[in-house]
Amino acid sequence: MLEISAENEFAIQDLLAAFEDETNAQAKYLAFAEKADAEQLHGAASLCRAAARSEHFHAARHARAMRQLGVDVQCAPRKAEVKSTLENMRNALEAEEHEIVEMYPGVLEAARKQRNQTVIRSFTWAMEAEKSHAVLYGEAVALLEAGRSDSWIEDAREFYVCPECGYTAETLKRDESCPVCRCSQERFEAVE
Ligand SMILES: [Fe+2]
Ligand SMILES: [Fe+2]
C-alpha cells in the first residue's frame, strides 16, 4: 500500500464520492430502462442503457485514478427509485445538470489546485460527457411531454458511447474523433 499524503487524501475523497455517484447513476439508469421498456418506450430505454454504459466508464476511470493513489474501491449501488418514464427522464436530466453545474466543477477546482493530471482528466471527461446526456435526456423529456409517439422515443435504437470518456451520441461519425477525449469514433460502442 502506498503512503497517502494529506493532499491525495482530499483527491481520494472526491474521487470516491464521484465513483459512488457514477455507480449509482449506472444502476438507476438500468432500472429506468427496464421501466421504459415496460411502458413500450423502447427508444427511451435505449438511451438509459447507453447512459448507464457511459456512467460505467466514468466510474471505472475514477476507480483507476484511485488505484494510482493506492486505494482499491468497490461500491454496491443503492436501489433506485423508479417512477413513470416521464418522471424518470426528468430525474435523470436533473441529476445530469447537478453533475455539470455543481458536482464536477467543485471537485475540479480542488483537483486543479493539486495539479493531479489523472484526476483532472477523469473529472473533466466525465463532466463533458454528462453534457451529452443532459442534451439527450432533455430531448426525451420534451418528446414525452409533447406526446410525440412518431419520434425515436418508442422504437429501440442505437446510441454510441465513447469507451474512454463516456461521450454519448445519437449518430456515429466513424471518420471523426470524439469531441471530448479525441479518441477515434471507430472505437465507440453501439448500445441499443
Ligand atoms: Fe450521465
Ligand atoms: Fe471520448
* Closest to 31 in 3D by CA, of 92, 97, 96: 92
CA–CA gap between residue 14 and residue 122 (Å, rounded): 11
CA–CA gap between residue 172 and residue 108 (Å, rounded): 29
Please report the pLDDT score of residue 57 as a whole number.
Answer: 98
Q: Which ligand gives the minimal distance to the CA of 92?
A: 1
Q: Which ligand gives the minimal distance to the CA of 125?
A: 2
Residues of the chain predicted below pLDDT 70: 1-3
Q: Is the pTM of this model over 0.75?
A: yes
User: 135 - beta bridge partners?
Assistant: none
Ligand 1 mean position to 2 CA, how many Å?
31
Ligand 1 mean position to 133 CA, how many Å?
5
Ligand 1 mean position to 114 CA, how many Å?
25
Number of H helices, E strands in the chain: 5, 3
Alpha-carbon distances of 136 from 44, 48, 84, 99, rounded to whole Å: 10, 10, 18, 15
CA–CA gap between residue 146 and residue 64 (Å, rounded): 42
CATH class of residue range 6-191: mainly alpha
Edge-first strand order for the sheet with 189-191 is: 168-169, 159-161, 189-191
pLDDT (tens digit per residue) in 114-164? 999 999 999 999 999 999 999 999 999 999 999 988 899 999 999 999 999
Q: Which ligand gives the minimal distance to the CA of 18?
A: 1
Domain boundaries, the chain: 6-191
Q: Which ligand gives the minimal distance to the CA of 161?
A: 2
Ligand 1 mean position to 102 CA, how many Å?
14
Ligand 1 mean position to 89 CA, how many Å?
12
Ligand 1 mean position to 31 CA, how many Å?
14
Strands, E assignment, the chain: 159-161, 168-169, 189-191
Distance of alpha carbon 153 from its chain centroid, rounded?
20
